[in-house]
Amino acid sequence: MSREETFGTSRAYLRRLAGPRAFPGRYDEKVSDRPIGIFDSGVGGLTVARSIRDQLPRESITYIGDTARSPYGPRPLAEVREFALEVLDRLVDQDVKMLVIACNTASAAMLRDARERYSIPVVEVIQPAVRTAVTVTRNNRVGVIGTEGTIRSLAYNDAFAAAPHLALFTAACPRFVEFVERGDTTGPELVALAEAYLAPLKAEGIDTLVLGCTHYPFLRGAISYVMGEGVTLVSSDTETANDVYRELVSRGLGRTSTTAPSYRYEATGESAEEFLRLADSMLGRQISSVELVATGVISLPIHPEPSISPSPSPSTKETP
C-alpha cells in the first residue's frame, strides 16, 4: 500500500473557541495511532516534518502552514499568538495526539498558552536547539539567528540563561525567510545577504550558531559557507524531532497500527500550486493536489509583550 500524500479537505472556518481545549477523541481509534500535528507560519516547518518522518517513519502527520499570514517575524507577538492558537485549535479538532509548534516566532509568542490550553503534549523548537548548542560549543561563544520577532522576544536569551557561562550573540535575519518562501536557496544575492547578516557574529568569534528559524535549514549551505568550517550549525528541525521521539516513547504514544501512515498537508494561502512546488522541492516527494484552508478569528485575552532590555547583559549581545 502506498503512503497517502494529500492535502485533506478542511472546514470553511475554524471554530470560535475559548477556554481550555479538551482532546476530542474518536472511539474507533487508539490515541497512539492518531497523527502528530505540526504547525508553522509557512513552509519552513516542512524541515521539522521531514526530520520527524525520517526518525519516526511509522507515524502519521497532519501539517498546517499559515501561508496566508506569513511571515510571522515582523508581526507583533500578540497577533502571532492569536494566529497560532487559531491554527493549533484546528489541529486539535482533527484529533492529533501531539502538537509540534514548528515556528520559533510562534513558540516565543504562545508556548505557555498552548501548554495551558491543550490536554495533549506540546513540543516546540527553542529549548531543543538550546540544549544542543550548550553541549556542542567548545569556546562558550554561541550565536543565534532568527526572525525579527524571535530575536525581539528575547526567548533565546531566556532559554540560555540556564547556562550563564556562555556568551550569547544574536542577530535578526528577516530576509532569509523571503528567499526560502520563493524557493531561492542558492545564488550570489543570497550569499551577499548572508555575509552582511553574519559578519557581526563572525567578528565575535562564535563556534556554534543556532538556526533559530525552521526556514533556515534550507539555507544551510550558504550559512555554512559564510561562517566557515569551524562553526557548528545547530538546526532546530533535527533537535525538535528528537524531542518528539522522546515524548512519544516516554508517554507510550508510538503508533502501533500495521497500516501505512498518512501524511496530510494544509495551507491557508491563496496559491495551492506555489505551496505544492515548494513542498515538493523541500520534501523531495511529489504531492499531487491541495485544498486551501480558510482562516477564521478567535477572541483571546492579550498578554503584554515581553519588554526589551535597553542593553544586553554582560554575557549576551545582540548584533546590529
Q: Residue 102 falls within a domain, yes or no?
A: yes
Q: Specify whether 172 is located in the same domain as 217.
A: yes
Q: Specify whether 111 is located in the same domain as 131.
A: no
> What count of other Cβ atoms lies within 10 Å of the Cβ of residue 231?
18
Residue 73: domain span: 4-21+30-124+238-283
Q: Residue 36 falls within a domain, yes or no?
A: yes
Q: What is the mean pLDDT of each run of 10 residues along the chain (320 residues)?
A: 39 38 51 95 88 94 90 92 95 96 94 94 95 97 96 95 97 92 87 98 98 92 96 92 95 94 86 76 60 51 40 48
Q: Specify whether 132 is located in the same domain as 188.
A: yes
Q: Specify whether 13 is located in the same domain as 72.
A: yes
Q: Specify whether 79 is located in the same domain as 172.
A: no
Q: Which residues are catalytic?
A: 103, 213
pLDDT in tens, 76-131: 999 999 999 999 999 999 999 999 999 999 999 999 999 999 999 999 999 999 99
CATH number of the CATH domain containing 131: 3.40.50.1860
Q: Specify whether 57 is located in the same domain as 82.
A: yes
Coil, strand or helix: which one is 298? coil
Q: Residue 108 falls within a domain, yes or no?
A: yes
Q: Specify whether 185 is located in the same domain as 44.
A: no
DSSP 21: B
Q: How many domains does the chain have?
A: 2
Q: Residue 293 falls within a domain, yes or no?
A: no
Q: Residue 142 falls within a domain, yes or no?
A: yes
pLDDT of residue 290: 59
Q: Specify whether 216 is located in the same domain as 246.
A: no
User: Nearest CA to 216 among 146, 315, 152?
Assistant: 146
Ramachandran sector of residue 101 (left: φ over 0; alpha: ψ -120 to 50; beta: rest): beta
pLDDT of residue 13: 33
Chain mean pLDDT for the chain = 83
CA 43 to chain centre: 9
Q: Residue 288 falls within a domain, yes or no?
A: no
Read off φ and ψ for residue 60, nearest 5 degrees.
Answer: -85, 150
C-alpha cell at 121: 503534549
Q: Residue 292 falls within a domain, yes or no?
A: no
User: How far is Cα 190 from Cα 97, in angstroms, rounded to an integer?
Assistant: 38
Q: Specify whether 9 is located in the same domain as 111.
A: yes
Give the predicted TM-score (pTM) of the model.
Answer: 0.81
Q: Residue 302 falls within a domain, yes or no?
A: no
User: For the chain, what percent of residues have pLDDT higher than 90?
Assistant: 61
Q: Specify whether 136 is located in the same domain as 116.
A: no
